[in-house]
A and B are shown apart, each in its own frame.
Chain A
């Protein structure tokens, strides 16, 4: 008998009688306004909120705040004028020296300030993790209240890889002191658009 057969046989013998799945949960109404909550939580977890009304403002902000930086990349054609061109189809290791990556999120979640980003929006999976600083653009209208709404939105969408990203990379492994910038981005800026 292979281990597979052995494990499956043992599971079948030992698993208890049927237990039903519980009812699905949904967002409890009456909470804080989603946009306000998203901004509050993002700030608490070390992210920065920048409210903008169009991509020109984003481009301006990037030029102003990141002008000293060498490598700026973006998956957004609207930001082509302020970011590097032709970076896309390289070995992912080559993004190690990217100072700022600007990408788009499908939506954000108010309760934890997480942004849902799938592979197609990253262009390469390594991008939002390997860059020194990360900026994400999300429409103000696309902030949902809780993770229940988030998964309703995701539904049965097809993706190879997707991630909820909430704030900059961090660690508190040394005596519970919070340090931003463990292995991934040291900062996270969210452009709330609209």
Chain B
């Protein structure tokens, strides 16, 4: 997503101009978070499930080489063609070449954050291939020519009236109509025609099983199945970290995925694709795109355990009040902020700072990724590597200088208290970024050091 040179704070400013909408966005996501809590609390074994899921994923990361080979061999034995892509560009080329071989120039695609990450739609569009996103939320943002703002709820930032307008323009629904039932029915008709007429379908992959060579795709709408079962060619795109060792491990992950995402006990469809149907060809594209690098970063490799449930976004006070687009990357929110700097530290240097480090993300993560700790660690790496926002870097340097010089520290404290008391206007203004959304504190009469000295003397 191109946002010019704007960073998270500047993009949030744009989102924050409409305060009523920010409140609405905040409340909607909190509603989803609350549903997640209810689902999690209804299972006494919830914490055991999280711990088990986390350990299974630890095992996957530690034995990924073996599992990849095993998965490849089993998938090929099942009649699936396996491709390997080192990066997004290679992924796009592979998909394009499969489509070209089959003489296909119009396709349907169900939700896949990986293809968003690789910018597949743009690539195929430039090569004269029409892509129809079939997840309702994704179709809506596609019609609006916007990227998804949330990985599970792609158009969570849009009001129904705006969707009604889009549908009026593109699908011919009645002007001013905004009833979700009416709009969904219109989308159903519109997309059914696409499912029936397109010869190739792309899906993502939620889980891939090394033991059996099968992969699982979860949807509520049924769009992955409608696409795949009606198409002559099915291409499934997956990051290499989606592996699970054994089929039975799916039980753990299918129990936690949707409960964490939307609070449902399971998605409507959890489809296990093992072999192409007679007459169909099935492809899997295994994509690295930075994942092997992240695997080598000890402090950050845990981020590869992510199952894309979005619980960390729904709970994040910053995400809820800044919107998904402010993260200017395919995967927004806390998890996106630890994945993106691995891909491009300079371009995404702002994201690890888009957090209060409150830790709520880590607490809801179903695979126990230490998200807030990684955000904190990324900040240190980014400053050290020289990618931090210069204002932040200077402030940090000044703080370092002050805190390591007792004389200067004492003087700075005195000066600060003096200024706040006698000349508050010099800090209570627009030049002080900290003041923007806050009041400056009442200055204390003396520092703790001075107080301690005085009281110690009195003893």
Q: Known contacts being A159-B274, A173-B154, A174-B160, is A114 close to B266, with CB within 8 Å? A: yes
Q: Known contacts being A10-B288, A112-B265, is A171 close to B275, with CB within 8 Å? A: no
* A163: interface (CB < 8 Å): yes
* Residues of B in contact, count (CB < 8 Å): 89
Tell me the residues in window 162-194 of chain A with beta carbons closer than 8 Å to chain B beta carbons.
162-177, 179, 181-185
Contacts of A163 on B, CB cut-off 8 Å? 225, 269-272
Mark B165-203 against chain A: 1 for CB-CB distance below 8 A, else 0: 000000000000000110111011001100110000000
Please tell me if the beta carbons of A184 and B272 are within 8 angstroms of each other in the complex.
no
Please tell me if the beta carbons of A173 and B51 are within 8 angstroms of each other in the complex.
no
Please tell me if the beta carbons of A160 and B252 are within 8 angstroms of each other in the complex.
no
* B375: interface (CB < 8 Å): no
Of the 9-residue stretches B84-92, B347-355, B397-405, which lies at the interface with chain A?
B84-92
Please tell me if the beta carbons of B28 and A3 are within 8 angstroms of each other in the complex.
no
Please tell me if the beta carbons of B140 and A14 are within 8 angstroms of each other in the complex.
no
Alpha-carbon distance A163/B206, docked complex (angstroms): 14
Q: How far is the CB of B376 from chain A (nearest CB, A)?
A: 21
- Chain B residue with Cβ nearest A46: B268
Alpha-carbon distance A29/B84, docked complex (angstroms): 44
* B356: interface (CB < 8 Å): no
Please tell me if the beta carbons of B159 and A161 are within 8 angstroms of each other in the complex.
no
* Residues of A in contact, count (CB < 8 Å): 72
Contacts of A20 on B, CB cut-off 8 Å? 55, 59
Please tell me if the beta carbons of B272 and A148 are within 8 angstroms of each other in the complex.
no
Contacts of A152 on B, CB cut-off 8 Å? 248
Mark B241-273 against chain A: 1 for CB-CB distance below 8 A, else 0: 000010110111011000000101111111111
Contacts of B265 on A, CB cut-off 8 Å? 41, 45, 111-113, 166
Q: Known contacts being A126-B230, A179-B180, A183-B222, is A21 close to B250, with CB within 8 Å? A: no
Counting chain B CB atoms within 10 Å of each CB, the highest count among A28, A167, A174 belongs to A174
* A17: interface (CB < 8 Å): yes
Q: Which of B230, B250, B293 contacts A130 (CB 8 A)?
A: B230
Please tell me if the beta carbons of B221 and A182 are within 8 angstroms of each other in the complex.
yes
Q: How far is the CB of B77 from chain A (nearest CB, A)?
A: 12
* B135: interface (CB < 8 Å): yes
Mark A117-154 against chain B: 1 for CB-CB distance below 8 A, else 0: 00100001110011000000000000000111011101
Contacts of B85 on A, CB cut-off 8 Å? 3
Alpha-carbon distance A21/B295, docked complex (angstroms): 18
Q: Which of A2, A16, A28, A129 contacts B225 (CB 8 A)?
A: A129
Alpha-carbon distance A50/B258, docked complex (angstroms): 26
Q: Known contacts being A147-B255, A182-B222, is A166 close to B268, with CB within 8 Å? A: yes
* A90: interface (CB < 8 Å): no
Counting chain B CB atoms within 10 Å of each CB, the highest count among A6, A14, A148 belongs to A14
Q: Which of B59, B156, B159 contacts A19 (CB 8 A)?
A: B59
* B445: interface (CB < 8 Å): no
Alpha-carbon distance A183/B136, docked complex (angstroms): 9
Alpha-carbon distance A127/B347, docked complex (angstroms): 47
Alpha-carbon distance A148/B135, docked complex (angstroms): 29
Contacts of A93 on B, CB cut-off 8 Å? 196, 230
- Chain B residue with Cβ nearest A118: B272
Alpha-carbon distance A175/B160, docked complex (angstroms): 6
Q: Known contacts being A151-B250, A164-B254, is A25 close to B188, with CB within 8 Å? A: no
Which residues does B use to contact A, with CB under 8 Å?
A: 28, 31-32, 44-45, 48-49, 51-52, 55-56, 58-59, 61-65, 68-69, 84-86, 90, 134-137, 140, 153-156, 159-160, 163, 180-181, 183-185, 187-188, 191-192, 195-196, 212, 220-223, 225-226, 228-230, 240, 245, 247-248, 250-252, 254-255, 262, 264-277, 286, 288, 292-293, 295-296, 298, 301
Ordered by A's residue number, 12 sampled pairs between the chains whose C-beta atoms are within 8 Å are: A19-B55, A19-B62, A45-B264, A147-B251, A163-B270, A166-B265, A167-B268, A169-B222, A171-B136, A171-B220, A173-B137, A184-B222
Q: Which 9 A-B pairs have the closest CB atoms?
A: A184-B222, A14-B296, A182-B221, A112-B265, A173-B137, A10-B292, A160-B275, A112-B266, A4-B84
A11-B64, A20-B59 given; 7 more Cβ-contact pairs under 8 Å: A156-B212, A159-B272, A164-B269, A174-B136, A176-B153, A183-B134, A184-B268
